[in-house]
Structure 1
Amino acid sequence: MNKMNFSAHVLNVFDEMKTSYEEVKNLMFDLYKNELDDGISKREAEDKLREVSLKIFGLTKDSSRRERERAYRDHARQYFDVIEEVTDWTVSTGLKENEWFNALVNYRNLKEGDTNLFVNEHEEVILSIARMGKRHHDTMLQRLPENTTYSVETDVYGAAVGADIDRYLIGQEDWTKLVDAITKAFVVKIQELIFAEILEAPKKLPAQSEFVQTGALNTTNRKKFNKVLQNVSVANDNADVVIMGTMVALQELENLIDVKWVADSQKEDIAKMGRLGNYGRYTLVEIPQRFARNDVTKSMYKDDTLFVFATGDNKLVDMVDVGETLIEEITERGTANSNIADIMKYEVQRELGVSTRIGRYFGSWTITD
C-alpha cells in the first residue's frame, strides 16, 4: 500500500511521531512474528504501536468510553487502512497452518501471482461440486474429462470482530492478541466451511460399501475397517494410506490394537501425543479440534469420523483466495447485524471461492458406540 493512499490525518500522525508507514508496518510484522530487532523489547514495541493507534483515533490511554466510541466512528476506516496489509499476511498464513488443510486443499492466492485456473489431471474425475459462487450457493454437479481446465467462482465472505479492538486500545490486550482475534474470526470460519465440504464428499463416492462404513472400532469390526484401508490403497495403485481424524477419533484406533503386541515406540507415541502415531503401517494425521466461535458447547469438527486417503495428491478442495483482506464497519446498530455488547462491530472480509473435486477414491468411517 502506498502511503499516498492514506488520509491527511494519518500522514500527520506519522509526521508527528517522526516515523513512516513502512516502519510501523515492519514493526507490526516483527512483533506478531516475535522477531524484533536487537535492542527492541516486546514492551517497547507494544507501547510504540499502541501510541500510533491511539493517535490515529485521536485518543489517550485515559479516554472515556464515549470518547472512544466517537473516535471509532470518525477514524476506524483510517486505522484499518494501516493494519489491513498485516492481516493479509496473517490470514494467508493462518489458513495454511493445519496439516489437514495442506493435505486436502489446493490453495491459490491470486495476490501472490497464482491464476484462477485448475487442470484436471486424472483420467476420471468422479464428481465436481462447485460451491460458494457469486451468483448462487447451489450445488453444481459435473464430470470433468482428463486435462480439462476450469476456474473457481469467488464470493466475498466476512466474519465479525468487535470488542477486541477496544480492549487493545485501553491496554487489556496486546498487539498479537488483537491481530489473532481479527485473523481467527475469519480463518476459523473458512476452515469450518471447507471441512463441511469434505464431510459431504464421501456421500458422492460410488461403491459406497467398499469405501464408506459405519460401526464401532472394536475387534469385531477390525477386519471390516482394515478392508476399507486396503480398498483405498488398491483403488489408488496400491499406494500407501494415511488416516485422518481429530484426537478423539484417532484414539478409538487403540481399541483395534492387542496391547500384548504394542511396540515400545507406539507406547511412546501415546505418552507424548495421547494417541497412536500409526496404526500398523498406516500413518495417522490429526485434525486439530476447535470450538465454534464464541460457543464452547459446539465443536467444529466431528469426533466420530475418520478419513482414509492414499498418499499423494488428495486435494479434494480447490480454493481460490483473492488475497486482499478488508475490515469494514457494520453500522446497523440495534439490528440483527449489530452487537450491542461491542462498542462497535467490525467485519473481516475476504473474497474467495471453493470447489470440491473428487479425482481419487478415498474412504471414511463413522464411529459408533
Structure 2
Amino acid sequence: MMDIKGLTNLARDLYNNKNLEFEGVSGNDALRNLIMDKVGGEWSYNNFQKNKWDIFEIVSVSIDAIVPEILTNQFDSLADVRNVALGTKPVFTVQDPRIVRVGRVASGSQDLRRQTITGKKYTVETDWYGAAVYAEFEQFMNGEIDWNKLVDNVAKGFASHIETSIGTALQDSYSMLNAADRFEGTIDLDSLVSLAQRIQVKSGTPVQIYGTKLALARVAKAVDLSDALKDKINELGYLGTVSGLPLFEIPQAFKVNKDEFALDDNSLLILPQNEKIVGVVMEGASVIKEVDNTDRNDMQYGFLTEKKLGVSVLQMKVYGMIKMTK
C-alpha cells in the first residue's frame, strides 16, 4: 500500500509528466487504482460512502503536492512558499539593510554613537478558500470520474488564485515604496539603470530585473538595437541583458475563470539576487467535502475543496519597481 510520501511523489511526478508510467500502468491509472483499492476493488455508491474519507485523503494529498509545484515553476525567484501544519504561523525574517555606521573616536574617549542592527519579523495571515467541482451523477455512479483531471483542475484553481493574489499584492506594494525606490513614466535607459544602481547599493547585492514577457519586451524600446540585438529579441522575446543588468521572465497567468491576465504587463521589479519579496503560506492539508446535489434536476455530484492560504509582500525587503506608461 502506498504511503503519503509515495502518493505525494506520484502526484507531483504525474503533474510534470502526463505520460508517466508507474508499476507498469499509466500514472492516471495508478491514481485510479489507488482509489479502487479503497472501495474494495468494486466501485459502487455504497462502497464510496463507506470509504469516502480515505478517497478524499488521496485527493487532498495529491492537490497539496501539485499546488507548490505550480507556484515554484511560476514564482520561484520572487516568492518564499511555505507549507506548514494547521495552526502554525511561519516567521519571515527581514534583515535591516543599513550599513554599520563608523564614526571618529576622540583620543582618550570611547564616546561613539551607537547603532543597533535590527531585523523585522513578519507573519502572513491566512484564510480559508474553497473550490467546487462537479460530475454528472451517472458518471460518478459508473466510476467514470477522471480523478487525475479533477486533482489537476482543483490544484490549478488554487494556484491561479495565489498567482492573482501575488500580482495584486505586488501592485499594491508600489505606493508603499520610498519615492526614490520607484519610477513611473516612459521607460528610458537612464531611469532604469539609475534605479537599479540605487537598489544594488542599498542592498549590497547585484540586482536583476523581472517582468512578464511583454513587460521585458518593452524595455527594448529604451535601447538602440543593432541587428544582433534584434535577433536576440526574435529568439527570446526580450533582451536577456541591458546595460549589464540581467532580465528574467515571470510567466504570465490568467485570473481564475477570466480572460484577464493576473500580472501587470507594464511593471518591472528590480530585485537583489536571491531576494524573495513575497511570502506565501499554505496552512494545513486541503479539506475535501462532499456536496450532495442529487436533489437537483441536473443530478450533479459535487466535491468542495477548502484550503487555508495567505499572501503578503514583505515590505521591509529592499527592491524597486517601475511602472511603464505607454
| Normalised TM-score (structure 1) | 0.66
Residue identity opposite 2:242 in structure 1: Y
Give distance in 1, aligned partners of 2:136 and 2:153. 7
| Aligned residue number for residue 13 of structure 1 | none
Stretches of structure 2 that go unaligned for 5 or more consecutive residues are: 99-116
Q: Decide whether aligned partners of structure 1 residues 73 and 41 sit closer, same or farther in structure 2, where only a CA change above 3 A counts.
A: closer
CA contact (8 A) 1:232 1:362 kept: yes
Q: In structure 2, what is the Cα distance between the partners aligned to 1:291 and 1:111?
A: 29
- Amino acid across the alignment from 2:246: T
Name the SS of the counterpart of 1:358 in structure 2.
coil
Matched, 1:255 2:216: no
* Structure 1 position 316, deviation (Å): 2.1
Residue number among 68, 91, 97 corresponding to 2:73 in the alignment: 97
Shift of 1:204: 0.6
Matches within 5 A, 1:171-320: 176-206=148-178, 208=179, 210-217=180-187, 221-237=188-204, 239-260=205-226, 264=228, 266-296=229-259, 298-313=260-275, 315-320=276-281
8 Å contact 1:244–1:307 — kept in the other structure? yes
SS at match of 1:94: helix
Contact preservation (8 Å) 2:136, 2:301: no
Tell me what 2:126 maps to. 154
Kept in 2: contact 1:94–1:187 (CA 8 A): yes
- Return the TM-score normalized by structure 2: 0.74
Taking every aligned residue pair, what percent have the same amino acid on both sides? 26
Are 1:356 and 2:289 an aligned pair?
no
Deviation >6 Å, runs of 4+: 54-61, 70-75, 164-173, 339-342
Match of 1:346, SS? strand
Unpaired runs of 5+ in structure 1?
1-19, 62-66, 125-144
Q: How far off is 1:166 after superposition?
A: 8.8
C-alpha deviations, 1:305-364, integer Å up to 9, x for none?
111222242x22233322412222346899xxxx99892443332223333322243222
Aligned partner letter, 1:249: A
- Code of the residue aligned with 1:82 in structure 2: it is I
Where does 1:330-341 land on structure 2 (aligned, <5 Å)? 330=291
How many residues end up aligned between the 2 structures? 303
Does the CA-based 8 Å contact 1:167-1:173 persist in structure 2? yes
Distance in 1 between the 2:264 and 2:216 partners?
Answer: 12
Any idea what SS the aligned residue of 1:355 has? strand
The RMSD of aligned alpha carbons is: 4.0
Cα distance change on mapping 1:191 and 1:32 into 2, 3 Å: closer
Matching of residue 36 in structure 1 with residue 10 in structure 2 = no
Name the residue aligned to 2:92.
118
Equivalent position SS for 2:285: coil
Q: String of CA shifts for 1:203-242, please: whole Å, max 9, x gaps.
A: 1112x1x33222233xxx33233322222223223x3221
Mark the CA change 1:118 to 1:300 in structure 2 (over 3 Å): closer, same or farther: closer
Equivalent AA in structure 1 for residue 21 of structure 2: L
Higher helix fraction (1 or 2): 1
1-side partners of 2:264 and 2:245: how far apart?
A: 21
Q: 1:163 to 1:214 in 2, by over 3 A?
A: farther
| CA distance in structure 1 between the partners assigned to 2:167 and 2:294 by the alignment | 32
Q: 1:280, 1:305 → 2: CA distance?
A: 19
Match of 1:83 in 2: 59
